[in-house]
Amino acid sequence: MPMTMSRARVARRIATAAAFGGGGVGLLGVAAVGVLLTEVRLARRTVGGSSDIPPCADGRYGAAFGHRTDRPPLRLGFLGDSTAAGQGVHRPSQTPGALLASGLAALSELPVDFRNVALPGAQSDDLERQVELMLADDTATPDVCVIMIGANDVTHRMAPAQSVRHLSEAVRRLRAAGCEVIVGTCPDLGTIEPVYQPLRWVARRLSRQLAAAQTIGVIESGGRTVSLGDLLGPEFEARPRELFGPDNYHPSAEGYATAAMAVLPTLCASLGLWPEEERPEPARGEGLLPVEQAAAEAASEGGTEVTSRAPWALLKHRRRRQLPEPEPTDPSSVTG
């Protein structure tokens, strides 16, 4: 609990600095940064990095549902970095966007038009460009957008307040356009297999601090968050050969499926499609908490959803469902 409260205080400081245009909030001393940079150079010799172009999964999913209804297709947009783009796998059906589009189609029984503007290597300051692309056609505004961002902000030492500010602005713009927004917060970088101590400890601390601060910014901008870090952490550590891809950095197909299963309930709930009450179940460790406390707890427990219930935040642990296998898409069905 003391660790959670400490993380909550730091996350609130970062989010406050972001809201008022402040600079970075220092999380490490000069000596620690020096150790971190030394370890990063060593880690780069063993951690892979994929230059492959992620497979394009844009198109229509659940097209068969279109023959059963006259309702228009749902529109799902994806923004973010290489994880959002699906880097590390070779088939469109293995990307998190395709998995979520297929799951959304199955649960809504409607076709889903999917579009991905995520960019491998992107930091949060690229979100402004991505939002412009996503909203360029005002006749095809997404019903819901998923953003996965943050890892590159940590590894490139972007000031946390700057990172949160860019993300919060992106969420506000998408919400103003009528989109529901779900953010998969910064993953736990301490799970990368070839990274050793003390970098592993530092990377974990920095990524969790950023994830908590992201949650505060997103919630106060009208979005929802799902924590990916600790969800994938124990599983990646226990089965790195299965959940990491060939480059030892990006998730494998099974790793992406694990992340997608965590996001799907929140994605559907944002559209009123998930068969669970929008209220806390205390027996499942859910509750209404101060925003910064909910953010800190979510950063420590993966798969946790945080949603605004102003002036509080609702902490939820939604039950997951197996994702359906994505079928071939019709790329011509999505424009822009």
Task: With CA atoms as reference, report the closest residue to 206 among 74, 11, 13.
Answer: 11
d(CA 199, CA 205): 10
Q: What is the CA radius of gyration of the chain?
A: 19
**3-state helix/strand/coil string of 33-45:** HHHHHHHHHHHCC
**Beta carbons within 8 Å of 228's beta carbon, 6+ residues apart:** 148, 184, 185, 186, 187, 188, 259, 262, 263, 302
DSSP of 58-79, one letter per residue? -EEE-GGGGGT--SPPEEEEEE
Name every residue whose Cβ is closer than 8 Å to that of residue 20 and which is 6 or more positions away in sequence.
Answer: none
Active site residue 250: yes
Q: How far apart are CA 275 and CA 119, in angstroms?
A: 33
Q: Which of 247, 308, 330, 333 is catalytic?
A: 247
Helix (H) or strand (E) holding 256: helix 253-270
- How do 144-148 and 112-116 pair as beta strands? unpaired
| Residue 118 backbone phi and psi in degrees, to 5 | -65, 150
The answer to whether residue 247 is catalytic is yes
Q: Decide: helix, strand or coil at residue 47.
A: coil
3-state secondary structure of 99: helix
In the chain, what are the helix, strand and coil shares in percent, each to the nearest 5? 50, 15, 40
Catalytic member of 168, 207, 221, 250: 250
Active site residue 67: no
Beta bridge partners of 116: 78
What's the Cα-to-Cα distance from 49 to each of 41, 94, 160, 206, 249, rounded to whole Å? 14, 19, 24, 21, 7
The catalytic position among 81, 82, 143, 168 is 82
Where in the sequence numbering do the catalytic residues fall? 82, 247, 250
